[in-house]
Amino acid sequence: MAGNSQRRGAMRKDGTKKGATVGSGGQRRAKLEGRGPTPKATERPHHPAARRDRAAKKRAESANRPAGRSSGSRRSTGGLLMGRNPIVEALRADIPATGLYVQTKADADDRWREAMRIAVSRGIPIMEVARTELDRMTDGGVHQGLVLTVPEYKYSDLSDVDTGSLVVVLDGVTDPRNLGAIARSAAAFGASGIIIPTRRSVGVTASAWKTSAGALARIPVAQVTNTTRTLQSLQKSGFAVLGLTADADVSLAGLDPKILTDKVAIVVGAEGAGLSRLVGETCDWRVSIPMASGNESLNASVAAGIVLQAVFAARS
């Protein structure tokens, strides 16, 4: 026994006892204690729910970001234009703008220099930002180092639009370029304003401003919640409502010229779909534009321009 005790108690050169067993250091005990309750899905970094939650928070932060950040990366509520040619054309047309964002160390050309010159002359703030910031503002669009922000458009009341004897009503038109082109024709041929619905319709955007070549600064646009009721209100005010449609009751050439010399509301429908059913039924006359056989319907803005010119000619 004594010999065994001496063997168990014998020491190695490194100071440890011979025959000793290395322990776990409490590791097994920690494993047996458990890891607590399972965390929520949104608290697990790699869980799909957590990723969705982070993305939602990021979108909310972006939407609530103050307008005057020092980095100069404010996004206009009205919209933006990108690309050198569109921006130069818009600035030439004197559309309203809240800021011109220019890419740091971008290659300058004649369009670039003209955009800078016009912005300086009009007192438009110029912000120099990195290309990554312009990519973010345009969602990766082709900006060519220039982005112009346009303020939110202030719509007029219906009472400010129907003051004259000629108005244009849009029914389901969704292309802002059509709105801009129609505004240009409406201003040229003496219309007192344009009426658009608040839902399922184009609004005054940066693209509409550009296409209008400044006309939207001269002609008011009103938004209404119900186009049919608005047309009925115009009829009570003495307007004759002409709806443009391919399957019309009468052609523009066959319409009594006296109708065009009185108060007229021209209703333009969406391309392809045309006038909605209730709007078409409310019109006093459904009018078509004579064309050579075998041709499809005209672009909405082109059709509106033709009828506006016909009204103007009848009154001249």
- Side by side, the strands of the sheet bearing 264-269 are 221-224, 193-197, 166-171, 264-269, 240-244, 285-288, 250-251
Residues 6+ apart with CB under 8 A from 190: 164, 166, 312, 315
pLDDT band at 36 (very low <50, low <70, confident <90, very high): low
Q: Helix or strand or coil: residue 187?
A: helix
Give residue 248's pLDDT.
82
pLDDT per residue as tens digits for the range 142-158: 899 999 998 888 899 99
Report if pTM > 0.85. Answer: no
Q: Cα dist. 149→67, 193, 216, 232 in Å?
A: 13, 25, 16, 38
pLDDT per residue as tens digits for the range 110-129: 999 999 999 999 999 999 99
Beta bridge partners of 170: 268
CATH 3.40.1280.10 domain position(s) in the chain:
158-315
Q: How far apart are CA 285 and CA 242, in angstroms?
A: 5
Q: Helix or strand or coil: residue 85?
A: helix
Between vectors from CA 281 to CA 278 and to CA 287, what angle results, nearest 5°?
120
Report the Cα 68 to chain-centroid distance in Å. 21
Give residue 200's pLDDT.
84
Architecture of domain 158-315: 3-Layer(aba) Sandwich (3.40)
CATH topology (fold) of 80-149 = 60s Ribosomal Protein L30; Chain: A; (3.30.1330)
pLDDT band at 77 (very low <50, low <70, confident <90, very high): very low
Choose between 207 and 135: higher pLDDT: 135
Q: How far apart are CA 155 and CA 226, in angstroms?
A: 16
CATH 3.30.1330.30 domain position(s) in the chain:
80-149
In which residue are the tokens 């004897």 written? 165
What's the chain's average pLDDT? 81
CA-wise closest residue to 93 among 1, 245, 215:
215
In which residue are the tokens 């130069």 written? 88
